[in-house]
Amino acid sequence: MPTVPMKQILDEAVKGGYGVGAFNVNNMEQIQGIMQAAAETKSPVIMQASRGALKYTKMLYLKYLMVAAAEDNPEIPIAVHLDHGNNFETCRQAIELGFTSVMIDGSLKEDSKTHTTFEENVEVTAKVVEYAHKYGVTVEGELGTLGGIEDGVGSGNILLTDPAEAEKFVKLTNVDALALAIGTSHGAYKFKEAPVLAMDIITEVKKRLPNTPLVMHGSSSVPKNLIDIINQYGGTLKHAMGVPIKSIQEAIKRGVKKINVDTDGRLAITGAIRRYMTEHTDVIDPRDYFGEARKAVYETVKGKMIDFGTANHAGDYKAKSLSDMIEIYKAK
């Protein structure tokens, strides 16, 4: 199965009442671990790359790893998504690379730190939507900002989404999916205590925009067992808390359909490599410890696919192509 438009994956999730994980990738082992989990659980999946990941891999390397994942798993719907595009040009480049979905983060200026006005956000998001839809590519927008900073993205301040503005924003931009700010944060150090998220925002936005898939950023759970493994084998991570799985499941029930996960994958990889290198002090073959990292990603992602309700939905529908989506957008 070729890579598919993210809009189809999310629209099907809306119909089925489940969530779909969007997992950040940087290398082959992450992609293989994610796809092993998707194949075993029969889950549709979104693989996403940040600007940092594209720079690290010189763009083309990551592109063809994702293409390989699709060829190796023809029964799994896979969307290839740009995470936190900071301007029109970045989104255009991702579309040229063959990404089936892009996020334009118009809530922040191009420095990915400074807040924009509502009008500025609408302007850049609408421009990306107009361009992307000509190629059948899905567009995710964002209204409000998260706490924390990860991969150079974030103002460090939380600005919650206004449901009335969200309704207006979607109508003005024709965006396909909307990321909400409900109190989550980027990075491992999200919360000092159990978070209380603004679930009522999800409910109200869903009421106003029943057909728009909603997105939850900063949704790693930062499991204690992963932190403990890292620290047991030489790490010095401080007390960290993420978003509890039960909170994510509640958000899914209320209307969130795309759940972004990055930090948990990083933690799984780091712990696996630290443990292997400590227990095998004579190892020199990268395949040995990268293999352990791949296994750790697989185990982590498999659990999330089950928890999000994604499992056993890969065969629910026939995949659309970007050409199909071009005609659908034209008909609107």
How high is the pLDDT of residue 157? Answer: 63
Is 151 annotated in the active site? no
> Domain for residue 1, yes or no?
no
Residue 315 has pLDDT above 70, yes or no: yes
Mean pLDDT, range 88-110, rounded to an integer: 94
Mean pLDDT, range 188-201, rounded to an integer: 70
How high is the pLDDT of residue 19? Answer: 98
**Catalytic position from the list 83, 105, 262, 264:** 83
pLDDT-based confidence at residue 185 (cuts at 50, 70, 90): low
Phi/psi of residue 325, each to 5°? -70, -35
> Domain for residue 332, yes or no?
no
> Domain for residue 312, yes or no?
yes
CATH of the domain at 289: 3.20.20.70
Closest CA to 214 of 262, 253, 240: 253
Strand-pairing partners, residue 252, are none
> Domain for residue 331, yes or no?
no
Which of residues 151 and 270 earns the better pLDDT score? 270
How high is the pLDDT of residue 149? Answer: 41
Lookup: tokens for 126: 């609408």
How high is the pLDDT of residue 146? Answer: 67
Residue 182 has pLDDT above 70, yes or no: yes
How high is the pLDDT of residue 184? Answer: 79
3-state SS, the chain, equals: CCCCCHHHHHHHHHHHCCCEEEEECCCHHHHHHHHHHHHHHCCCEEEEEEHHHHHHCCCHHHHHHHHHHHHHCCCCCEEEEEEEECCHHHHHHHHHHCCCEEEECCCECCCCCCECCHHHHHHHHHHHHHHHHCCCCEEEEEECECECCECCECCCCCECCCHHHHHHHHHHHCCCEEEECCCCECCCCCECCCCCCCHHHHHHHHHHCCCCCEEECCCCCCCHHHHHHHHHCCCCCCCCECCCHHHHHHHHHHCEEEEEECHHHHHHHHHHHHHHHHHCCCCCCHHHHHHHHHHHHHHHHHHHHHHCCCCCCCCCCCCCCHHHHHHHHHHC
Residue 263 has pLDDT above 80, yes or no: yes
Q: Where in the sequence is the domain holding 236, given as residue range(s)?
A: 6-326
CA distance 320 to 3: 9
> Domain for residue 50, yes or no?
yes
pTM: 0.93
The alpha carbon torsion through 47, 213, 262, 314 (nearest 10 deg) reads -40
How large is the greatest C-alpha to C-alpha distance in the chain, in angstroms?
A: 62
> Domain for residue 147, yes or no?
yes
- For the stretch 22-31, pLDDT in tens is 999 999 999 9
pLDDT-based confidence at residue 148 (cuts at 50, 70, 90): very low
Count of domains observed in the chain: 1
